[in-house]
Structure 1
C-alpha cells in the first residue's frame, strides 16, 4: 500500500536501487570439468571444420604438396640439363669476366679446356670470338665468351644472354676499381641464372706460380668476406691447376640452371658465325648462324642487333646436324621459314599525325634552323666595349645567353606578346638605354674555335652555375621572382592554380604538343602486356615458327655493312609487337651511392633499357601515387625520381642503367632502376611559387607586397588560393593603390615574420631528343 493510502498506486524503485549481477548458469565450465567429461577424447570433425574455415591446410596435405613441387622442379631442371649444356643440345653460354687487372682470361679458358684428358673432346674457335668446347666425358657442351675488357656495351650484352658468369679474381691484387665498377653494373642490370666467383693465386701466365697454402687460404678468405658483405651466398672456387679446372667444369655440368623472367619473354640468339652477302656495298643482307634460345621465332617478327638497330627477316633456315662420309658433322637445311608480306611487321618508327587533332606548335628544330644555328655558332657577335680583345670578350655573357641561363622554361620564345599599350613604356625605356650604350659599345666577331683549345673553362663555369642553382632550389623550392619589366599575367600565362594538387581534375589530352602526334599510345598498357603473353603461349603450338633450341641461320635484310672489332660478340634479340615503335617511357631511377653529380632536367643521358641503348634528355618527377606528379628541376644524389623521355616501347620487366657522357667521351654511371610504364598520359606538373611579404597586419587581414607590381596582375590572379609558410590559407580581397599592394584575408592570425605564397602549375613534356646509340656513331665519336 502506498504512503498516501491509495491501493491502485504501484511502488517503483528509484535510480539508486541496487542491481545484483546475474549468475551465469551453464555458460562456463572449468578445464578440470571439461577433461573429466570428455575423458581425453578429441572432436576431430569439429577441428577439421574449423581449420577449413580458417583456410589452414592439414599438415599431411602440406607435406604432400611440398613433395610434388620438389619433384616438378627436379624434373624441370633435368629437362633443362638435357637441352642446355648437353652434348647433343644447345651449348651452355659461359661468360668469363676478369675482376683484376693482372688476370689473363685466355689462359683461364686454356686451363678449363685442357683440364680433362679426353681424346674425343673438341675445342672450336668461332668467328665471333667464342670458344665452343665439347666434352664427351662429362657429356656436356660449353660456349665460352671473352668480351673485350674495354668494350662495356659488349660485356653487358654478353652478360644478359649468358647462362653462367665466371668472375675471375686474382688473390694477389684483389678486385680492381674497374672490376668493382663492372661487378655492380652486371649485378644491377643483367643478373644471369648462376654466378661463379673463381680466384687464382697469382697472374695466370705460363709459369703458373703458386703461393703457399696458408697465405692463399687467408687471401681467399678475405676476398670471400668482402664479397659476402655485398652479395648473398658467395663462395670462392680456386682455379690454379687442372684439378681445380675439373671441379669447376663438373660444377658447371651439375649446377641448377634458372632462367630469368626477361629471358623467357622473347627469342634471342648468339651468332657463332656471320657473313654479308655483299660486303662491298653499304647495305647488305647479314647471315647469322647459331642456336635459337628463349622462345620460338617467326619470320614475320622483327629482330634487334645491339649497336646496329632494328631489321626485318628475309628468311629463317632451320638446320639439322648430320655426319658425312668423311666423318665431319655439318649442318643441313631441314626447313625454311619465309615471311608473309601482308603479316610481316613494319619498321614504322613514328605514327602518322592525326589532322583532326589540333596540336601545339612543334618544338623540335627544322633543317633550316639547324643550318642557321651552325652559321651563327661559327660567327658569334657580341656587344662589347671598344678596345676589347677576343680573349676578354669571351668572358662577357651576352643578353641572349643570360636570358637562356635564367629562364630554362624557354617560355620567352613562345610567349604571346602583350598589348602594345601595356608594353609601350617598357620598349621606350629599352630604346633609350640602347641609344646611350651605342656610343660606347662595339660589335666584335668571335671565333670560339681559336679560344682555349686545350681547356674548357665554359664547361666549368656552367657546372658551377648548375651547382649553385641546385642549392638555391633546395633551400627555396620552386620559388621564382616576379619580373618587373613583364606583366605577371603574360610571364605566367601558361600556369594555372589548383584547389588541391591531389583531387583537382586535369585533362591529360589537353593542349598536347605536336610530338605526341608522332608516338604510339595504348588505351591500357597492362592489358596489352597480358594479351602479348597469351599470344606467346599460343605461338608455341604453331608450325610456322622456328623451333627453340634448334640451330638456325637468320637472313637479316638491309643491314649496314660494318666491320666488327676482333673478339666482338654479335647477339640478336626478337622484338615483341609494337616494340619497334616510339612512345613515352617512364623509368624509376635511383642515384648510385658514389655519384655526386647534380643532374639537371632536360640534360642528355645514355640509357640502357633492357637489351637496347639510346640517348635522350629526360624530365624528372616525383615517384608518387595519384594522377599528377610534381616536376623536379634537379636530380640530386641519393634520390629516387621518375625520368620521362621519348624512347622505343619496351615491355617490363626491364632493368635500366643511366650514364652521363662527358665531352671527352668518358661515361659515368649516375643512376640505376627499372621501367615503370609506357604511358604518355602521365601528368608531370611544374610548380612555380610566387612569394610576397606582409606589410601591414590586422589579425586575420594583411596587406601584402612584392608579389605583384600592378593592379591588373592582382585582379588576374585573384581567384587563386594563398598559403603561408606557417600553414595559413587565404585569398586576395582587393588591390590597393597602383604599386602591387593587395589586401588578403586568412583563416587565422598572421605573424609578421610569415611569408605569403601562391602556387601556379603547368604541364611539362619531354623534349624530342631521342638518339639511337649505334656502333658506327660510337666509332665516329672516338675518331673525333
Structure 2
C-alpha cells in the first residue's frame, strides 16, 4: 500500500458566496450599515452608452492626452521661437511715485550684459542673445490707472515695482486690485531702492509690510525680489525668457495684437467741413486666434472700425556680411481681404424691419381709457357694465346656473326658500411669495369670503362723517411723522412713498400695476408698448446664448491670418480729429467676435467693493471696463436669480458686500468676461490744491480715490435679454382707523373715492402678515373698508404694492 502524501491547499483565503450575508464579518456588516456603496464589478457596463475599455485602449487614451497637452504647449511657445521672432511683452508698472520703470528695465538688462538707453515712458524691443529671444518692454508712467490696465491687458509678463523704503499707497492697492480682477498673466513683485538694514540687521518695516500684504493678496508669489541684487535680476530675466505665458480666457478667445507702429495716410476723406476721416496703418504681431478682415476691430478708446486689408510685414533680417540686409519677398503681400461677409458698423437693427413688425402689432387700449388698475394680466371693472362684480340675485333655493338665466331680476317673494346665488364659486386664492409685500403663495382662508361689492357688516344706522380739512391735515402730518421715524429706526418700508392730498393717485401712478406674486404672476408686456424706448425693438435678441457663443468662438479658429504673423492692418474711416488729440494713442488692437458691435439689453453681475464707504445708487454714472472696451453707463440695479415670470425687483441702492444685476443698453460681449466698475470721486482738499468748491467728499480714510477714479465694484458679463423685466416697486400705506373683527376702516392711503375705486382690485397686506382686499369706499376723503384674513393689530400698517417697468439707459463711449 502506497503511503499517502499530505496535500496543502494553494491558498488560505476562503471565498464565500457574496449574496449570503450570514458569511459576512462584523466589519463588513458595519461598513454596509454606514451607507458605503460597494464598487462592484469594474467590467460591468453601467449604461448602454458606456464603453468597456481594455488595457490597450486606456493606454492609447492616456497617450492621446499627453500628445494634446504637448501640442497646446508647443502652440503657446512657437510664436516666440527665433524663426518667427515674436517678442515677449513685459509691462513694468511702478506702484509708487519714487519708483522708476526705466531704471528697473535697465537693471534687468544688465544681468545679460545689455546696455541700451531705455525711454522713461514708452515701449522698446530688445533682443536677448543668451536666451535666443526678444523682449518688448513697456515702461509705464506712475499714477496713470487706465494706461496701466491697458498694458497689463496685453502683457505676457507684468513686473510691479515697489519702493523698499515706503509703504504701498492707495494707487498701488488700486492697481493691484484692478489688474487681478480684469485678468492678468504671469506677474512678479520687485522692490527698488537700496535696502538699508537697521542696527540689528533687519529689513525695513515697509518691506516687511509689503511682504505680508503680498502673501495675503497673492499667496502664489513665493518671495519679493529686489532689483538692486544682481542675482534677483538674473532670476527675473530667466523667468521672462523661459516661462510659457499663461493665457487669459477672454483674451485668448479673440485675436489681438500689441501696436508697434501707427501711421496715418496723407489723404483724408472729407465728409463735411468739420468731420473728415483717413486710413490708418497699424503694425503688430497677431496673437490669440486668427485675425480675419471680415470682423471689426476695437482700437483702444478710439472705437470700432472696419478692416480694409491685411498685408505681411516681416522683420528685415541682417545678412552675414556687414551692412547687408535680406529683404523678404513676402513684404507687402496681401494676406487677407474682406468679403461680402464683412460686418458693418450698425449698432441697431434696420428700421425697415421694425416698421413691418409694428404694422402687424396689435396694441391694447390706452391707459387713459381704463377704468381700473392692471392686476397681473387683467383690467378689472373694464367691461361695458357696472363697476364691480355682479350683485347676487335672490332666486328659489335649488335653482341651477342654467335655470337662473331664465329669471330676469330678483324674485319679489320673500320666503325661506330663497337664497343668494353668486356666480363666483369658492373662496379667494392669492398667489405670491412668502413676503407680504410681494404677495402670498397658496389660498387665503377667509371665514366669510367678501367681494368688492359685498354687503356691509356695520350696522345700517352708522353714519360716517368726514373730518374738517384743517383737522385732517394735522392728522396726516402727525401720522406721517410717526411713520417716518419708524422707517428710520428699522427700515421696514424702503419703497414707501407718500402722496400729497391734492394729487390724484390714478394719474400720478398711471404706469403702475398690481401683481399677486412678484415671482410667478404673468407680466403683461402689451401695456409697456407706450413707454418703451424707441430703440428697444431694434436691439439684438439671442435665442440660445450658449450655443451662439460657442459657434462664434469656433468661427475665429478658421480663416484669417494665423497667430505669430507680423502684419500691417489698414483701417477705414478713422476720424482725423484723433490724430491731434491730447490723449495717448492706443497700445492694443482687439478683433471683435461676430455681433459684438450690436447693442443689446446687457446684464452684468455686480458686487460692491467692501471698502467702499457708502451704498451705490442706481442710475449713477459709472465707467465700465469689460474686455477690450471701456464705456460710460448709468446702470439699473435689480435682484439676481431666476424667476418663472422673468420679473426682477428694481433696487434703488447697492449696499456694501452685496451682489445685484446691473442692466443697461450697450454693446454685446460674448462669454463670461470680467468687468470693472469705476466712479469719478471728489478729490480730498489736499489733492485739490486746498479748494473745496462746495463739494461734499464721501471718501473715508480706508477708501481714497486715486486721481479722482475709484474702483467701486467688480462683476462678470451675463447673457443679454430684452424680455427681462425690471419692476420698480412702490408701497402706499394707510392707517387702520377702526377695527371690527376682520373688517377695518383704512385712511391716509388715498384721498378721494375715485382713487379707491381705481385701485380696488389690488391686494392689501400688513407688516405683520395679514392679507385682505378693499371692500367699499367711505365718504369723500379716501377712507375705505377692507376685509382681512385675520384680525388686524391696531399698531399695524396697511399697505399695497404697485409695480412699473423701468427701462435700461444707453451706454456712451468713454474718452479720456
Partner of 1:293: 287
Specify the SS of the correspondent of 1:307: helix
Task: Report the secondary structure of 2:718's partner residue.
Answer: strand
Please, what TM-score do these two structures have when normalized by structure 2? 0.69
Give distance in 2, aligned partners of 1:95 and 1:211.
33
Query: Within 2, Cα distance between the matches of 1:741 and 1:230?
Result: 61
**8 Å Cα contact 2:729/2:802 also seen in 1:** yes
1:229 pairs with 2:179: no
Q: 1:212 to 1:278 in 2, by over 3 A?
A: farther
Structure 1 contact 620–642 (Cα < 8 Å) conserved = yes
Q: CA deviation at 1:744?
A: 1.0
User: Does residue 1:631 correspond to 2:623, yes or no?
Assistant: no
Determine the structure 2 residue equivalent to 1:535.
Answer: 555
- The answer on 1:343 being equivalent to 2:341 is yes
Check conservation: 2:95, 2:142, Cα contact below 8 A: no
Superposition deviation, residue 124 in structure 1: 8.9
Does 2:782 correspond to 1:740?
yes
User: Whole-Å Cα distance in 2 between the matches of residues 73 and 619 of structure 1?
Assistant: 44
Q: 1:669 to 1:219 in 2, by over 3 A?
A: closer
The 1-side partners of 2:241 and 2:198 are apart by 29
How has the CA–CA distance of structure 1 residues 210 and 750 changed in structure 2, closer, same or farther, with 3 Å as cutoff? closer
Report the TM-score when normalising by structure 1: 0.72
CA distance in 2, matches of 1:233, 1:340: 45
Distance 1:567-1:584 versus aligned 2 partners, 3 A rule: closer
Secondary structure of the 2:542 match is: coil
Which residue of structure 2 lines up, in the alignment, with residue 245 of structure 1?
233
Match of 2:674 among 655, 668, 678: 655
CA change 1:756–1:117 in 2 (3 A) is same
Whether the aligned pair in 2 keeps the contact of 1:97 and 1:166 (CA below 8 Å) is: yes
Partner of 2:159: 166
Aligned mates of 2:27, 2:678 — CA distance in 1: 73
CA deviation digits over 1:661-715, x for unaligned, max 9? 2578822222111112222221100111111111111222211111111222112
CA pair 346-75 structure 1, distance change in 2 beyond 3 A: closer
Return closer, same or farther for 1:59/1:595 CA change in 2, 3 Å cut-off: farther
Deviation, structure 1 residue 566:
9.8
How much has 1:29 moved relative to structure 2? Answer: 1.7
Aligned twin of 1:668: 710
Verify the 8 A CA contact 2:739 2:792 in the aligned structure 1. yes
Could you say if the C-alpha distance between residues 553 and 125 of structure 1 is closer, same or farther in structure 2, counting changes exceeding 3 Å?
Answer: farther
Does residue 1:553 correspond to 2:572, yes or no? no
Q: Could you say which residue in structure 2 is the equivalent of 1:99?
A: 95
Matched with 1:257 is 245
Residue 636 of structure 1: CA displacement? 2.9
Deviations 1:111-153 (A, max 9, x none): 11222137xxx96979992121211211222111122223322
563, 585, 610: which one aligns with 2:602: 585
Match of residue 641, structure 1, among 649, 657, 660:
660
Quote the Cα distance in structure 2 between the aligned partners of 1:103 and 1:663: 26
In the TM superposition, residue 341 of structure 1 has moved relative to its aligned partner by 5.5
Q: Does the CA contact (< 8 Å) of 2:607 and 2:715 recur in 1? A: yes
Q: Which position in structure 2 is the counterpart of 1:266?
A: 254
Pairing 1:766–2:795 present: no
Say whether the 8 Å CA contact 2:268–2:279 is kept in structure 1: no
Secondary structure of 1:743's partner?
strand
Q: How many pairs align?
A: 621
1:51 Cα shift? 9.5
2:73 aligns to what SS in structure 1? helix
CA contact (8 A) 1:653 1:674 kept: yes
* CA 1:304–1:700: 2 relative to 1, 3 Å: same
Structure 1 unaligned residues grouped into runs of 5+: 1-25, 36-43, 204-208, 361-428, 430-467, 779-784
Aligned to 1:617: 634
Per-residue CA deviations over 1:631-687 (Å, capped at 9, x if unaligned) read: 112233332221111211111222111222257882222211111222222110011
Higher mean alpha-carbon deviation, 346-355 vs 100-109, is at: 346-355
Contact 1:127 1:272 in 2 (8 A): no
Secondary structure of the 2:140 match is coil
Pairing 1:417-496 to 2, within 5 Å after superposition = 474-496=491-513
- Alignment partner, residue 753 of structure 1: 795
From the superposition, tell whether residues 352 and 212 of structure 1 become closer, same or farther in structure 2 (CA, over 3 Å): farther
CA distance in 2, matches of 1:45, 1:656: 45
Counterpart-to-counterpart distance in 1, 2:667 and 2:216: 37
Give the aligned partner of residue 355 of structure 1.
355
Which residue number corresponds to residue 79 of structure 2? 83
CA drift of 1:62 comes to 9.2
C-alpha contact (below 8 Å) 1:592/1:638 kept by paired residues: yes
Please tell me whether residue 179 in structure 1 is matched to residue 172 in structure 2: yes
| Structure 1 contact 147–567 (Cα < 8 Å) conserved | no
Q: Which has the higher helix share?
A: 1
Change (3 A) 1:728 1:269: same
Note if 1:283 corresponds to 2:288. Answer: no
**Equivalent in the alignment of 2:479:** none
Partners in 2 of 1:583 and 1:302 — Cα distance? Answer: 17
Give 1:97 shift: 0.7
When residues 471 and 526 of structure 1 are mapped into structure 2, their CA distance, relative to the original with a 3 A threshold, is farther
Q: Separation in 2 of the partners of 1:321 and 1:177?
A: 42
Residue aligning to 1:377: none
On the 8 A contact 2:515/2:521 being kept in 1, the answer is yes
Q: Secondary structure, in 3 states, of the residue corresponding to 2:730?
A: strand
Matching of residue 516 in structure 1 with residue 536 in structure 2: yes
| TM-superposition CA deviations, 1:241-260 (whole Å, max 9, x none) | 43322221112223242211
Q: 2:554 is paired with a residue of what secondary structure?
A: helix
Distance 1:547 1:125, change over 3 A: farther
Query: Does structure 2 retain, via aligned residues, the 8 Å contact 1:271–1:289?
Result: yes
Measured at CA, do residues 156 and 329 of structure 1 come closer, stay the same or move farther in structure 2, by a change above 3 Å?
farther
Aligned-residue offset at 1:75: 5.0
**Residue 553 of structure 1, CA deviation:** 0.7
